[in-house]
Chain A
Amino acid sequence: MERARSITKKIGAISFSLLSPNEIRKMSATKVITADTYDDDGFPIAMGLMDPRLGVVEPGLRCKTCGLRVGKDKCPGHFGHIDLAMPVIHVGLVKSIRDSLRASCRGCGKILLTEKQRQEYMDELKKYKSEGRDPTFVLKQIIKESVKAEKCPYCDREVGKIELDKPTSIRENGKKLTPSEVREWLEKIPDEDLPLLDIDVRSARPEWMVLTVLPVPPVTVRPSVTLESGERSEDDLTHKLVDVIRINQRLQENRDAGAPQLIVEDLWELLQYHITTYLDNQTSGIPPARHRSGRPLKTLAQRLKGKEGRFRSNLSGKRVNFSARTVISPDPNLSINEIGVPIQIARELTIPIKVTTHNIDWCKNLIRQKVEMSDDPDQYRPGVNYVIRETEGMKQRIKITEKNAEDVAEKLEIGGIIERQLMNGDLSLFNRQPSLHRMSMMAHRVKVVPNKTFRFNLSVCPPYNADFDGDEMNLHLLQGEEAQAEAEILMKVQENILSPRFGGAIIGGIHDHISGCFLLTHQNKKISYDDASHILSAIKYEGKTPNIIEENGNRYMSGKDIFSTLLPDDLNLEYRAKTCLNCEVCTAPKCPNDAHVIIKKGILKQGTVDENSIGAFKGKILDRIIRDHGMDAGRSFIDNVTRMGINSITLFGFTTSIDDEDIPEEAKRQIQEGLEKAMNKIRSLVKAYENNELESLPGRSIEETLEMEIMRVTGRARDMAGEIAGKHLGLNNSAVIMAKSGARGSMLNLSQMSGCVGQQAVRGERIHRGYQYRTLPHFKKGDLGARAKGFVASCYKTGLTPTEYFFHSMGGREGLVDTAVRTSRSGYMQRRLINALEDVKVENDGTVRHSGGQIIQFIYGEDGIDPARSTNGNAVDINRIITDIKEGI
């Protein structure tokens, strides 16, 4: 079969083998017999765990085996060995030991298969091998088959039942086998039978799975550290090896002295325990070995395994240079593709610049640049931290100081490299963890700013999911022209405004930007000439002045006209604003709420600008500008809209407080009445249920029907309270403006504050658990009424009664637990998905293939459409084309 042939870079083979006792002794630099490490003078004891023949860790000292030092010469360290008094089973290999024992005869060591079976399986294995297929299946089959045998087909010996008693003991017919017995047995298995046990004769013998010699890793693997107090602290591995040697010694002495069998066996068991924990300290079934402080030791397996193990934390992931991390804070005056970098960081981070004939003078000047410790970003001039010179093939890195600056500058040659400090306009990558999508890492242009935080425009908070309650973010600097060009084309913020998920904008105006534009454009707001100039100054507007209205000798401008200065001249749009109330009879285009937006030739004729115009996800104007005028125009539109919004809102003034939720006494009474009615309704429902008069809904039991009905009534009661409260909260109310314009909060939030909080639920049902037959002792047993089952009739403003408060906390707690569980679970799911898909990509011919060239999809997504360039998943926006044609554009 030609299945696996075409993989471009294929690993030929990986082979795992066991170290034989002879090999261990051969590679050993010394036998280790003393459990002590250092003598009283602080010198390592010969044939101890820190024997200098095992390598050296202190700089300057020479290794006694190879004569090299640590630093420059790099003595890699050398293994030692411990001769075990009695053999010990290797925990990592018990399963293979068990299988080998099960499949072989204790008498003659042969595999328990008849000559015929044996030949068949051998042929099968050969066939698999020649076809390059995975033979695991056959190997399992062999073991299964040979376990069935009752008598050895060769020596007629009865076959015992082998059981593995986790973690390391093996029993035959219920009788425990000592490791020595196991080893003797394994020794008998002939070489010819090993392939049937999945053992390659060249790389291992089964008896090597039972240890007789233990390799001692070099000191470089387990360096001891000297504490400030001068005390030495040893590595966990050394501690464990000390235990092994100590017990090994006692075992030997006892055995040689002819101690009772019982004592020898106990010590043997103890040696087994220490070696097991030395290899893996999380073996199930045995208590983990602990440090004196009670902390479990980190032994061999723990060094490699899991997230903090060698693979995931040192090999797949590494720490990087040319990066910075600090707290973030907002700066509405920066463009969305800028990032404010503190002077201190800018002075530390560098970008390499190659010296050429064109820039040599400039480079020399940079080197001579005096580093001024000023906090004023206008005074900031980038200097040079290092100069890299190549002389006779040797790279030299020279640190620039005030003293040598002039000298180095003079000697600068073409072809050298200077490591220049950051300056405005440098491209950098900005990232916030968890990096859940590609917008979590975008390219920003550096702007050097004072103080100590990274600063960026508020509009880019949503893609990073950042807020300013102490969040920190990372900055990375691109060290090559190629990387910079790639980031410039693919990663800049404006290239990421459109989400690759559905093709809509995910960066747009938020919060105050929306409130500001709402205030500016709602109804026919007239703004005095002075104020208008102030707002326009925010966007550095240069162009035709908007219409000036003369009234009573005062000059005004219309808010809509001011906003129109941001719009391109060819913009034509008509849509419903967020403020739209969905009236039963729509009177558009003449909407009394000013919720029908009409833009003609770049002039906002009517309608209010709110979330549906400039917000992320929904902003129609934003979407159209990006589609028609490109990403850069989109970027400058967002920049300007945010500035104009903020200037307007600061000019008009905007504040919200708890009295925004004040409603008149009359309204409160109405709400009370409504709630009372709802309670009565529930009471009558319960009564009907108790009298068995309730008719069940299709597919529901009577109880379920009652619950559903009650939930419906409580839901309606809350909506009613909200409606009454909403009627009294008009658009002169800041909280309402925020909710209606889509800036922040919802009418539901407001109605919970001023009307009624509503039914609390746990797992989608009314609260029913707690005490026997009741939720709390405040209620009668069997009470099915509204208040007894978690209905909160109060509003947040007046405050909750104690029982209501308790129910509310129950509902709230469920929410918290849900989010915690969801994030951890979806995180792991995502990790597995990413690992499975990481090297799948779209090729130039539109096919989706993985790294081996295997085709996964013949056309990407079956339609070949890039969702980031689509309109809600469709390649063509038919509606748009139709309207455009109708309008004759």
Chain B
Amino acid sequence: MAKTIEKKQLDILHHKLVPLHLVLSEKEREEFLKNFKITPDQLPKILNTDPVAIYIDAKPGQIVKIIRKSHTAKEAVAYRLVVESNE
């Protein structure tokens, strides 16, 4: 069951330790899977109950693009598949 957080409470998306999360659109999603030649289940996962996932309203089955700062490259892009939490 997805918990809901009062959005106004605190905007975690602006915290400096929270990297940029973006939900891929249907078109982007297709393109991404084609580029990497993978099926969604090969991706790392993110729970739909993850605070950021709730904030950006990511639903199970969608893919989230994460842009983080990196020591080696200036910016690193990662993708995660949203999955339903067990609880």
Contact = CB atoms under 8 A, between A and B. Distances in A.
Contacts of A859: 73, 76
Given A862-B73, A863-B73, A865-B72, A853 B38 contact: yes
Interface stretch (A1-9, A597-605, A733-741, A803-811): A1-9
Contacts of A2: 39-41
Interface in B16-40: 36-40
Nearest to A857: B78
Interface string B65-76: 000001111001
User: What's the interface size class on B, roughly?
Assistant: 10 to 19
Given A1-B83, A3-B83, A862 B70 contact: yes
Interface string A857-884: 1110111110000000100000000000
Contact of A855 (B42, B70, B83): B42
B72 A845 contact: no
A6 B42 contact: yes
B42 A854 contact: yes
A34 interface: no
A282 interface: no
Contact of B79 (A858, A863, A865, A873): A858
Contacts of B41: 1-6
Interface in A1-38: 1-6
B2 interface: no
A861 B72 contact: yes
B72, B77, B79, B83, most chain A CB atoms within 10 A:
B72
Given A1-B41, A858-B77, A859-B73, 12 more contacts: A3-B83, A845-B37, A847-B36, A854-B43, A855-B36, A856-B44, A858-B36, A859-B76, A861-B72, A862-B70, A862-B72, A864-B73
Interface in A161-181: none
Interface residues of A, number: 23
A550 B8 CA distance: 90
A864 B73 CA distance: 9
A3 to B, nearest CB: 5
Contact of B72 (A4, A5, A873): A873
A852 B39 CA distance: 12
Contact of B42 (A853, A863, A865): A853
Interface string A825-856: 00000000000000000000101010011111
B67 to A, nearest CB: 11
Contacts of B79: 858
B70 to A, nearest CB: 4
In the A-B complex, list the 8 residue pairs whose CB atoms are closest, starting with the nearest.
Answer: A863-B73, A862-B76, A863-B72, A862-B70, A2-B41, A862-B73, A862-B72, A853-B42
B36 A863 contact: no
Nearest to A860: B72
A855 B44 CA distance: 7
Given A861-B72, A865-B72, A873-B72, A855 B43 contact: yes
A131 B75 CA distance: 37
Contacts of B70: 862-863
Contacts of A852: 42
B39 A6 contact: yes
A5 B38 CA distance: 12
B40 to A, nearest CB: 7
A6 B84 CA distance: 19
Contacts of B76: 858-859, 862-863
Contacts of A849: 42
A806 B45 CA distance: 59
A837 to B, nearest CB: 16
B41 to A, nearest CB: 5
A855 B72 CA distance: 19
Contacts of A861: 72
A133 B43 CA distance: 18
A855 B45 CA distance: 10
Interface string B35-66: 01111111110000000000000000000000
Nearest to A1: B83
Nearest to B77: A858
Nearest to B76: A862
B37, B40, B76, most chain A CB atoms within 10 A:
B76
A857 B72 CA distance: 13
A168 B71 CA distance: 55
6 contacts: A1-B41, A1-B84, A3-B83, A855-B42, A856-B44, A873-B72
Nearest to B73: A863
B32 to A, nearest CB: 10
A856 B37 CA distance: 15
A845 B76 CA distance: 16
Nearest to B75: A862
Interface string A562-601: 0000000000000000000000000000000000000000
B62 to A, nearest CB: 14
Contacts of A862: 70-73, 76
B80 to A, nearest CB: 10
B83 to A, nearest CB: 7
Contacts of A854: 42-44
Contacts of B39: 2, 5-6
